[in-house]
Amino acid sequence: MKAKNLFYVNLILYNILFLVLFSSCSARIDGEVYEGGRVELRLSSSLGTRTIALIRSMRGFMGEGTDAPILDGNNISASMSNSPGMGSISLVNTSPSSLEGTLSIIRVGDFLSLAGTDTRLITYTETASFSSIVFYLELETAPALISMLSPEVEEYLLALMAPAVLGDIYTREEYLSLLGMVYGRPLADEIAAAFITALIQFPRQPVSALGGSINGRNVEYNIPLLDLLVLEEPLSYEVIW
């Protein structure tokens, strides 16, 4: 195993924070895009049983209580409230390991943009003849973008040794092998089976949707969690309407 990976395994034992917002073992996002770049999102997110067991065992190892929420909606809302482009966020716990709530992004093109650079997670374009949204995430810029989400997101991904936050180059198979070696194959299988599902409505029927399927004004996505964690290839999703 790489020395960097061993370092972060130890780091997370001393700094265990929890969450999976955009990288949970189960996540559903429903939303609507408005002309002008405003986006309203409703999301629900929960951890898998193996991931819950991992976090609780780490808490026990550090002598910490295991009854506090594994996903803390209030903490996540507070840390993300000042993100670029954010209007408001309200997440509440529906169980210790799951949450749901809403996000209102008032300038989606600014959301998680890196100050002083051209690096953006989302590019929004609006002209007299068409509008478009492009979501683009690559390994080179992912660590800096992820660090802007919240400490919980970043440190959860450190616990999983995710290439998206470490910047290490792995194939999907190599990463699952690493997880299996460190945490056991059941956890690796849980990650491999996880998807993020999104259903987004647009002001008009889209004319194209790279990576998604169009149904009327809606575009639906089913994104493997593994693709987000590894970024073996850049993730690119574009909708034009």
pLDDT of residue 155: 65
Report the Cα–Cα distance between both ends of the chain, in Å, rounded.
46
Q: How far is CA 220 from the centre of its chain?
A: 17
| Mean pLDDT to the nearest integer, 158-162 | 81
26-42 pLDDT, tens digit per residue, is 688 999 999 999 999 99
Q: Is the pLDDT of residue 11 over 60?
A: no
Residue with tokens 């780091």: 11
Q: Is the pLDDT of residue 231 over 80?
A: yes
- At residue 15's C-alpha, the angle toward residues 48 and 154, to 5°, is 60
Name the nearest CA neighbour of 165 among 14, 1, 27, 20: 20
Length of the chain: 241
Contact 145, 119 (CB under 8 A): yes
Task: Indicate the pTM of the whole model.
Answer: 0.79
The whole-angstrom separation of Cα 34 and Cα 80 is: 21
pLDDT of residue 112: 74
- Lowest mean per-residue pLDDT among 16-25, 86-95, 100-109, 188-197: 16-25
| Mean pLDDT to the nearest integer, 2-18 | 36
The whole-angstrom separation of Cα 39 and Cα 52 is: 31
Q: Is the pLDDT of residue 4 over 90?
A: no
pLDDT of residue 69: 67
Stronger pLDDT, 157 or 155, i.e. the higher one: 157
Q: Which two tokens stand for residue 136?
A: 């683009």
Residue with tokens 């067991």: 53
Q: Is the pLDDT of residue 214 over 90?
A: yes
The whole-angstrom separation of Cα 30 and Cα 199 is: 5
pLDDT of residue 147: 73
The whole-angstrom separation of Cα 5 and Cα 189 is: 20
| Mean pLDDT to the nearest integer, 197-224 | 95
69-117 pLDDT, tens digit per residue, is 666 788 878 888 888 889 999 999 888 778 899 999 999 988 877 766 7
The whole-angstrom separation of Cα 160 and Cα 187 is: 10
Contact 42, 102 (CB under 8 A): yes
Contacts (Cβ under 8 Å, ≥6 apart) of 84: 107, 110, 111, 112, 113, 115, 148
